[in-house]
Amino acid sequence: MLLPLSTALLLIGFVLAVDRGRVSPLAITVAFLSAILLGYWMLDIGAGTSVWIFYAAANAAMILGYRLVWVVLSRGSGPVPAAISRRAIVALRLTSLTVIVMAAYHLVASGIPILRPDVEVERFNFTASGLFGIPGRMYLYGLPAVVLGSTVVQSRMAHPAVGRLVKVNWISYALAAMLSGFKGGLLNVIVLYALARALSSRPIALNASKALRYALLIIAALGFATAVSLRYSSLGAADMPAAVQYMGARLTVIPALPGHHAVTELDGGPQTGLYLLDDLYHFISKYFRIDLGAGPVFPLDKVVSSQLYATPLSDDSFIVPVTVGAAPGFYVDFGSAAAIIGMAVMGAVYAYLVFRVLTTRTVLGSCVLSLAVYFLNTFLVNGSLVYVVLNLAIVSVLVAATYAACYAASQVIEGALGFSVEVPAT
């Protein structure tokens, strides 16, 4: 127990120490990965394996890749003046309004998941609102994009009009998270807040008073998660103590189980090296209705879930959603050495994207680059590279197109709504 726990604490402690106690995007990611590392160790005890050592090495490589690139990029860099016009701010307000309206439409058209008796299934129904799944994607990813983008813009342009926009975006995102039916709804809000602070050059600095404040917020978020989990029929958590026990497992063993299964059961199988291609075939067919002639193809996450829960691998079956993780996903396709190298590369890309957010001078750049950081954080914890890349590309195009349309229309609309007297040019 001592060595795995020490390793997990060493990883997060190193990141915090290098950043002098400030919560960087890397610290947020490593906090989740360190908890999952303990889950791997717990599973290793029962299975007689040592997968946690590989997982720790992969995460250490990711941290090393991040730090090396960060040192190179940040050398000699200084404050970057923003190039934000009044018209760009108006376009951001209109873009935010469009995203919020589409997210609200999705909830109304598909039904509010938290109020549904089948909340455990309906929370994943992101296409029920129709319109090619666009409202669902705005609900799932468009809201974080405008929340992060507007928060970054506010850090470059402190003005009451921008401040009000940030508040509206955050309230909308928090409400959507609470109504989503996901256990981690409120925890996602806290994590996104920490990420937004870090990307706005105002990272949370951990000290005694702030640590207590955020600890209370996290406890409240875990309480919300526990209450929501009582409504999940598959969990069998009929009372609060059982739900609390489940939440402990949810942070450690449960997210580690799919990756542990993939590393121990799928490595060396007939599909080794092909899971990434299967993911590509599956999501291209699903999103773009393109028949590649390969028949029914299922992504790695579903293959693992079907084996873990003895569910038929079929489009007609409800396959319990699981996440394999980035490092195990690389492992089953390319082996341990390539997986560790791949994680180092991902760390380098992570550092580059964070640096670009901190140095971008435009509104659209703030939104799209912040969204890329958000997606990469999700990938490192949950895996599924093809899903992340495709959805990042789709949502980025949707946000960029919406912003471009709003920017083109802003001259007409700002006069009608009276925005011009509220937002100064910079």
Q: Helix axis angle, 385-417 relative to 363-382, nearest 10°?
A: 150
Mean pLDDT throughout 35-63?
93
Map out the domains of the chain as residue ranges. 86-253+366-421
Which residues pair with residue 205 across a beta bridge? 22
Q: Identify the pLDDT of residue 426.
A: 43
Rounded to a whole number of angstroms, the CA Rg of the chain reads 22
Q: Which residues contact 57 (CB under 8 A, 6 or more apart)?
A: 340
Q: What is the DSSP letter of 295?
A: -
Mean pLDDT throughout 133-137?
84
pLDDT surpassing 70 at residue 1: no
Maximum CA extent, the chain: 69
Percent of the chain with pLDDT over 90: 35
pLDDT surpassing 50 at residue 140: yes
Closest by CA position to 399, among listed 179, 165, 148: 148
Q: Identify the pLDDT of residue 207.
A: 74
According to the 3-state scheme, what is the secondary structure of 69-128?
A: HHHHHHCCCCCCCCCCCHHHHHHHHHHHHHHHHHHHHHHHHHCCHHHCCCHHHHCCCCCC
* Cβ atoms of residues 273 and 338 within 8 Å: no
Q: Which residues contact 337 (CB under 8 A, 6 or more apart)?
A: none
* 54: confidence class by pLDDT, cuts 50, 70, 90: very high
Q: What pTM did the predictor assign?
A: 0.86
Q: Identify the pLDDT of residue 350.
A: 96
* 424: confidence class by pLDDT, cuts 50, 70, 90: very low
Q: Helix axis angle, 326-334 relative to 253-261, nearest 10°?
A: 10
Percent of the chain with pLDDT over 70: 85
pLDDT surpassing 70 at residue 37: yes
Separation of alpha carbons 70 and 76, rounded Å: 12
Report H helices in 269-362.
275-288, 300-308, 326-334, 336-359
Question: Which residue bears the tokens 């949810």?
Answer: 250
* Cβ atoms of residues 272 and 53 within 8 Å: no
Which of the residue ranges 26-35, 328-337, 406-415 would you say has the lowest mean pLDDT? 406-415
**pLDDT single digits (tens) 112-127:** 877 777 776 667 677 7
User: And the tokens for 89?
Assistant: 């701010």
Q: Which of 9-13, 221-225, 286-290, 340-344 has the highest mean pLDDT?
A: 340-344
Higher-pLDDT residue of 307 and 379 is: 379
Separation of alpha carbons 215 and 161, rounded Å: 31
Higher-pLDDT residue of 369 and 408 is: 369
* Cβ atoms of residues 22 and 45 within 8 Å: no
**pLDDT single digits (tens) 270-326:** 555 678 888 888 888 877 777 766 567 788 888 898 888 888 877 777 788 889 999
Q: Identify the pLDDT of residue 234.
A: 61
Distances (CA, A) of 303 to 135, 285, 288: 28, 17, 22
Separation of alpha carbons 15 and 108, rounded Å: 42
